[in-house]
A and B are shown apart, each in its own frame.
Chain A
Amino acid sequence: MRSGLTRSIAALFEDAHQLGSLFGRTLYYLLHGKREKGSVARMMFEVGNKSLLFMCVTMGFIGAIIAFQTGLQAKKLVPDFSMIGATYLKLLVRDLAASLGALPLATRVGAGIAAELGSMVVTEQVDALRMCAADPVDYLVVPRFVASVVMGTVVLIIGGFVAYLAGMAVAQMVFDVNPHTFTNLSMVTTGDLTLGLFKCITYGGAIAIVSSQRGLATFGGSEGVGHATTEAVVGSCFAIIVLNLIISTLGYFFVPAL
């Protein structure tokens, strides 16, 4: 048990080191790499096209659920629903749209990236790239990173809107709060918007880096690809949760909520 624990802590540090190094190289090639025409656009289409519908559906459900829970909680504290829309919107902007939306995004986008890169590794295409003056980080990771940051943010924002609309519907149907009362921006500050946007961007980047790292570290045939895909999804989700705690703590100190 003890050795198991120390081993998993050592593995955690090793993973963190690998991810940091990949992130560093990605930034390097982002500035110094050779631009491939259209590769970023193609990846952006992939990311957006793959995840938009899925995101809208899941964020619709999540929005409805969270609004319902917020309402339940509010009912126990104060029997007044006039502020439920304002509170919900603040929560959504500041955290939930990004942090909850990022998990389904990781499932879809992260799995796609890891599966694609993993199968390139086991068919030796990544080695072939290295022999063709194309560093895999430059040629494969950078476009995915950019696409995931940009389109991830876009999709998360759209998902946030859907969640908001779903919450509005629930408030109307369950708690009898009309959409007009529900649409209350008074509690949302620029600080909240900045924090939320920063989270979206960070999660988009984290999904790309974690999934690329897992994909490029694939070994052992097609079973290895399945394994890498799994690890990419789990690793991305875990990274999002850890980053959320870090960013939220910083936000608590530097971006006062009220």
Chain B
Amino acid sequence: MIRLEDIHKRYRSPVLRGIDLHVPAGCIYALIGPGASGKSVLLKVVAGLVRPERGKVYVDGEELGELDDLGLASVRRKIGMLFQNYALFDMTVFENIAFPLRRLYDLPDTEVRERVAERLARVALPGTEDRDPSRMSGGQKKRIGVARATVARPPIVLYDEPTAGLDPVTSQKIYDLIRDEQRAQGTTVMVISSDVSGVLSIADRVGMLHEGELVFDGTAEEARDSTIPAVRQFVHGLVEGPL
């Protein structure tokens, strides 16, 4: 479903240095790693929002580097994305979540209302349709972002830190939601998280970025038992180690 080959991207200094990665269809892929290791940039590469200098990105069989704006737009229709800093629009909660539905389909108003209400209930924010997101807490904004990313039922969903700033109970609810949806719809999911134990509980596969390289790629089990020092330190939250 998603395949990256030898991705290089630099801003002032190199951020991604030769990433090879494969996410099969119907898989939950967790991306972990210390801050500023390039996780968010990598997710944007997958969404076609950042063009790498070198390397190829295949999403659902299409190579993003060969597409023009319109081609990219049609690939992005298959992707829902939660941004690390929410990126909510200056509209009400309802309009934010209804936005992708309205742009993608011509649904009757009642159905749009129903689907937005269902999403809000799913992220434990029922009845908040008319509120202004800029006046809500970080955790609430995150959950509205999750609702917006999934409302159009895209086959691929990318979550950038869905549980940062959430209490443990809500975090677990979000993880359960991601897992349930994925099981119900067979979506392909990439999720970035710093909360390693939480995300490992739902992930099929795990990749760890460190200084722009993928230092680990395997199953959740393998990650827990890894003997690579950086992975071992990060997964088990040890103070001693190379990080």
- Contact A130/B100 with A123-B87, A124-B83 known, Cβ cut-off 8 Å: no
A25 within 8 A of B: yes
* A106-146 near B? 1/0 per residue, CB < 8 Å: 00000000000000000111011111111100000000000
A-B contact pairs, 11 of them (CB 8 A): A125-B87, A125-B88, A127-B44, A127-B87, A128-B83, A128-B88, A129-B89, A131-B49, A131-B149, A132-B148, A135-B69
Report, nearest first, the 8 A-B pairs whose CB atoms are least far apart.
A124-B87, A128-B87, A133-B103, A132-B100, A131-B81, A133-B104, A127-B49, A134-B103
Measured between beta carbons, the chain B residues less than 8 angstroms from A129 are 89
Residue from A34, A130, A133 within 8 A of B49 (CB atoms) = A130
Cα of A128 to Cα of B149 in the assembled complex, Å: 9
- Are A131 and B79 interface neighbours, CB within 8 A? yes
Measured between beta carbons, the chain A residues less than 8 angstroms from B64 are none
Which of A25, A128, A130 is most buried by chain B, counting CB atoms within 10 A of its CB? Answer: A128
Residues of chain B having any CB pair with chain A under 8 Å: 44, 47-49, 69, 72-73, 76-77, 79-81, 83, 85, 87-89, 99-100, 103-104, 148-149, 152
Cα of A134 to Cα of B104 in the assembled complex, Å: 9
Cα of A127 to Cα of B100 in the assembled complex, Å: 13
- Are A131 and B76 interface neighbours, CB within 8 A? yes
- Are A134 and B99 interface neighbours, CB within 8 A? yes
Measured between beta carbons, the chain A residues less than 8 angstroms from B100 are 131-133
Cα of A25 to Cα of B73 in the assembled complex, Å: 14
A98 to chain B, nearest CB (A): 33
Nearest-CB residue, chain A, relative to B151:
A132
Cα of A129 to Cα of B100 in the assembled complex, Å: 9
- Contact A132/B99 with A124-B85, A125-B89 known, Cβ cut-off 8 Å: yes
B232 to chain A, nearest CB (A): 33
Nearest-CB residue, chain B, relative to A25:
B69
Measured between beta carbons, the chain B residues less than 8 angstroms from A133 are 73, 76-77, 100, 103-104, 152
- Are B83 and A130 interface neighbours, CB within 8 A? no
- Are A131 and B103 interface neighbours, CB within 8 A? no
* A40-60 near B? 1/0 per residue, CB < 8 Å: 000000000000000000000
A75-124 CB contacts (< 8 Å) to partner B: 123-124
Dominant SS among interface residues on chain B: mixed
* A146-185 near B? 1/0 per residue, CB < 8 Å: 0000000000000000000000000000000000000000
Besides A125-B89, A128-B87, 15 more A-B contacts (Cβ < 8 Å) are A25-B69, A123-B85, A127-B87, A128-B81, A128-B88, A129-B89, A131-B76, A131-B80, A131-B149, A132-B103, A133-B76, A133-B100, A133-B104, A134-B103, A135-B73
Measured between beta carbons, the chain B residues less than 8 angstroms from A25 are 69
Measured between beta carbons, the chain A residues less than 8 angstroms from B48 are 130
Measured between beta carbons, the chain A residues less than 8 angstroms from B83 are 124, 127-128
- Are A34 and B79 interface neighbours, CB within 8 A? no
Nearest-CB residue, chain B, relative to A139:
B103
Measured between beta carbons, the chain B residues less than 8 angstroms from A128 are 81, 83, 87-89
Cα of A132 to Cα of B149 in the assembled complex, Å: 8
Nearest-CB residue, chain A, relative to B158:
A131
Measured between beta carbons, the chain A residues less than 8 angstroms from B44 are 127
Which of A124, A132, A134 is most buried by chain B, counting CB atoms within 10 A of its CB? Answer: A132
Measured between beta carbons, the chain B residues less than 8 angstroms from A125 are 87-89
Cα of A198 to Cα of B43 in the assembled complex, Å: 46
A144 to chain B, nearest CB (A): 15
Cα of A34 to Cα of B101 in the assembled complex, Å: 13
B25 to chain A, nearest CB (A): 20
Cα of A142 to Cα of B90 in the assembled complex, Å: 19
Measured between beta carbons, the chain A residues less than 8 angstroms from B104 are 133
Measured between beta carbons, the chain B residues less than 8 angstroms from A134 are 99, 103
Measured between beta carbons, the chain B residues less than 8 angstroms from A132 are 99-100, 103, 148
Cα of A129 to Cα of B73 in the assembled complex, Å: 11
Measured between beta carbons, the chain A residues less than 8 angstroms from B76 are 130-131, 133
Measured between beta carbons, the chain A residues less than 8 angstroms from B148 are 132
- Are A131 and B47 interface neighbours, CB within 8 A? yes
Cα of A123 to Cα of B88 in the assembled complex, Å: 9
Cα of A123 to Cα of B80 in the assembled complex, Å: 18
A35 to chain B, nearest CB (A): 11
Cα of A135 to Cα of B87 in the assembled complex, Å: 15
Cα of A252 to Cα of B213 in the assembled complex, Å: 63
Nearest-CB residue, chain B, relative to A135:
B73
Which of A130, A133, A134 is most buried by chain B, counting CB atoms within 10 A of its CB? Answer: A133
